[in-house]
Structure 1
Amino acid sequence: MESPGSTGRPRAAARLRRAALALTALAATALPLTAGTLAPAPAAADPGDTSKLKKLNAQIARLDKEYGGDLAKLKDAQYGVRKALSNSGKLTRDLEQARLRVAQMAATQYMTGGADPSVQVLADGDPSAVLNSASLATHLSQNQATRVQQLQKLIDEQQKAKAQAQAKISDLQKEIADLDAQRTRIKSLVKKYKPQSPTSGMGGVTARMLKVKNVIDTEFGPFPIIGCVRSTGDPQDHGTGHACDFMESSGGTMPTAARVENGNQVAAYAIAHAGALGIKYIIWRQRIYDLRSPGWRAMEDRGGITANHYDHVHISVF
């Protein structure tokens, strides 16, 4: 036969379990801790930081292209920003979890008048005895103090990490601004040492043609490839080293709109500087411009993209 005390113990424990389970639902609307216990909650990581970094990445990609390739100094600063933002984001998530735990603690105190059901449930034997235990009160006090201290530490770390991320973003912005301010000098340097196009058939090319090739490549390259001396097909001036083809695409395919525009600029430049460079004629997009009889003239259809010079600018010299 069960005694009144033994019957009451399971019921009391069940009530305490139900109170503990109610904490999960209550956590989202839990009462805040006593005023002054914690520093004000910091704002979550600024969503604008990711947008800033995205814009800075686009600027870096543009500068990479304009300034001759990998900008190692900017890439290092970029890495620092990413790392700092990642650290700030992780601490923000950890902080939210810690605040949830402390909020649960506050809700527990409010519902039970200071007792902690989650601890009580562990004492299935006699909840009443546990509630009356002086050692439990000491444990709860110490446990709460520790969690509050941990939360305050996370707040401090998160604020510090956010400040570091903002500082690194600012440093990266200054680096980019500095490069932008030196645009003229850097572009001149890049132009002087810009990447050169791969070439074929350079053996036997004349000195004049070599100069034209180098000037055009410097101004408008790199090209997919520049082909000069050859003896196959209809070599024309290629056979004697007096011509080069500046390819705007490869594999007999039609160039993109951007590459067509590049070809247009190559042809216009060659015409404008023909006198200084010794250029004899230019062929581009089934048309020929002969400096001995100036003006563009349409050519016969030779049956293909390459044969009709749609994928390359042909330049011959005297």
Structure 2
Amino acid sequence: MPELPEVESLADFLRDRAVGHTILGVDVVAVQALKTFDPPVAALGGLTVTGVARHGKFLDLDCDGLHLVIHLARAGWLRWREDLSGAKPVRPGKGPLAVRVRLSPNELGMAPGFELTEAGTQKRLAVYVVRDPKEVPGVASLGPDPLDPSFTADRLAEILRGSRTQIKGLLRDQKVIAGIGNAYSDEVLHAARMSPFKIAGTLTDAQVADLHEAIVHTLREAVERARGIAAKDLKAEKKSGLRVHNRTGQPCDVCGDTVREVSFADSALQYCPTCQTGGKPLADRRLSRLLK
């Protein structure tokens, strides 16, 4: 799933390539992906892309005051096309293509654009056409952005205070902190040397400070690594920069211990026992015993 660093990089990518272009049309192939009807998607035709923003994991294209808001979900991606002028008309089907956005020609006469694709059978990619991004429920309910200057260690302490939630789950909750998903929560907790099953409200002041530093540093580092990389190469770049996530069975880069995994019904987490749980492996089942 694209998380804050990848979505931020996609926003940068679109700022460089889409801003200033007029939208010639938006072709919705996967009807279930379009979550709004007023304004209609056709209203974007003829408008100019004036800016691109990120809200958590949401992309937001400002089109002369109307907003095309995109959430790529778990298996979605954005594929930039340098020239769509010769592209065949899209038809609803079972393929990965969900939405195509066609833009006005550039100085070379090529008509660029981008396509939103989604792999797998669980179709969760979502597209909204709204007058204000906060009309999108997922945007309106977002917690603080961890890269915003207002996200301080004191602010994090307020969020954690009294919480009985395991820290791994809390970091992934978009209503609590925006933009962190399964991969970067693993990376943050490894950097903070903290068990994923630690209860959030039990953290000491020192642990909160360490966690805050790990969140900000891990995300900023990932954003910088992704900066300037073409959209098609972002997935590979993300994978190459991970230290524990999706590295089950490999040696930890910090201590050399073997990275372990805990599997759940529809996801898994990875961690280093030496760095994070005092050398004790976590039970690989949903009701794993909490390690403190």
Place the TM-score, normalised by the shorter chain, in its bin: under 0.3
* Bigger share in strand: 2
For normalisation by structure 1, the TM-score amounts to 0.20
For normalisation by structure 2, the TM-score amounts to 0.21
* Bigger share in helix: 1
Greater C-alpha Rg: 1
